[in-house]
Structures are given as structure tokens and as C-alpha cells.
Structure 1
């Protein structure tokens, strides 16, 4: 199996076609990860991702993501992490890098909204999404999604 990384990308200038509805991918006490839907585009899939945490898990998520921002800004060293999302489409499996990610929260709540771009389309109509964020209390969970059939005519173009 070819292992690679799904890099973030700007989505094409089209709305896409909804090929799967909302689905919870993983749930642990105080934290949940889900997809709002799956959009099919002519050149790949868009996966709008949400993660919500409360209580102790929110505190851990905030600590992990704040350390990440500080490390990226070169303010100081720190241990950091982020949710790990691995997507398999056919024989290609890889870690997905988020684009357009925003997070917010405090001691009692943490919210993350991100979008993952997968530049491949499944020939069998299935994708597998594995998500975890052990440092924030979310154990690994694997979900196989069967996508609704679509054609290029279903993908709505903006221009």
C-alpha cells in the first residue's frame, strides 16, 4: 500500500456534490470528532471536520493547541499535538493536513473546525477515515464511509 500525506489545498472553484451526510467519527468522554459531510469535486474530496471538547478534555486540547501556536510563532519550545486524521481512498492512505482550520476555547470548552482536501476520488465509492487525539483524550477510531454515487454533472460549479 502506498503511504503518503494528503496536503492541504485550496478547493476548486465549485460547490461540489454532497456524497455523505454528517457522521460522528469518534467519541470519548468529553470529546467528539465528526464530519459535517463529504463533498465530491471533480478533482477530489472535501471533508469539513469538527472537534468539540469540554471539561478536562477541553483544557488538554487548549493546552496542546496553544503550545502548537507558540511553537509555530517561535516564542518558545513546547510539546504540542493536534488531531490526527488519516484517510484511505482505494490503495492510497495518508495523514491529512488541515486547511482553513480555526479553533477557539477556554478552560471549559474547545472547538476546532477544519477542512481536509483529499485529491483522489474512490473508484469503489468508499473511504476510510481514522481519527485520534490521544493527548486530548480521544482514542483512535476507524470509520468506513460508503459515498452516494455521483457524476461530474452533480458537481455544482460556481462559474
Structure 2
């Protein structure tokens, strides 16, 4: 199974998955997932790391920069 982790705000941890579908055969492997992270990155940056060692996919990562997060507290609408 594909392993997905996130590093942000100085911590590394797993990503929560809501739905995952995986299949494979004849040397082809596919996985579609819906995932989320329970907090926002304080500096707008996060690193996603994936690995699927069972099929030979070594750990690799990508760094994301999320713009427009600096004033979310001022734009949030409280639900009452």
C-alpha cells in the first residue's frame, strides 16, 4: 500500500485518508486516494513524502508552497 506522510510546522506525521482504491497487475499499479492534513502550515510550506516499497517505489518527496494562508483568521467565518 502507498505510504504518504507530511512534514510541516517542524513535525512529520501520517496523512489521514478518507478513501483509497488500489489495483495492479502485469507490472502496473494504480492508487487513487482522498486525503487531508489536520492543520495548516504556519509558513505556507509542506513536504509530501510517498513510498510504496512493496512494488519497488522508493521514498520520494515534493515540496509545496500554499499561498494566501497568512490572513485566514481575518477571513474565517465562525459557525454559530
Q: Same fold (TM over 0.5)?
A: yes
Normalising by structure 2, we get a TM-score of 0.72
Rounded Cα–Cα distance in structure 1 between residues aligned with 2:64 and 2:74? 22
Query: Which structure dedicates a bigger proportion of its chain to helix?
Result: 1
Normalising by structure 1, we get a TM-score of 0.40
Task: Give 4+ residue runs of structure 1 displaced > 4 Å after superposition.
Answer: 152-155
Other-structure match for 2:58: 139
Other-structure match for 1:98: 17
Rounded Cα–Cα distance in structure 2 between residues aligned with 1:154 and 1:102? 35
Which consecutive residues of structure 1, in runs of 5 or more, have no partner in the other structure?
A: 1-81
Which fold has the larger relative contact order, with Cα–Cα distance below 8 Å and residues 6 or more apart in sequence? 1
Other-structure match for 1:126: 45
Q: CA distance change for structure 1 residues 132 and 154 in 2, over 3 Å: closer, same or farther? A: farther
Q: How many equivalent pairs are there? A: 74
8 Å CA contact retained: 2:16, 2:37: no
Deviation at 1:103, TM superposition (A): 2.1
Rounded Cα–Cα distance in structure 1 between residues aligned with 2:55 and 2:4? 14
Q: Deviations over 1:4-36 (max 9, x none)?
A: xxxxxxxxxxxxxxxxxxxxxxxxxxxxxxxxx
Rounded Cα–Cα distance in structure 1 between residues aligned with 2:39 and 2:16? 14
1:5-154 mapped onto 2 (5 Å cutoff): 82-150=1-69, 151=72
Note the aligned Cα RMSD (angstroms).
2.4
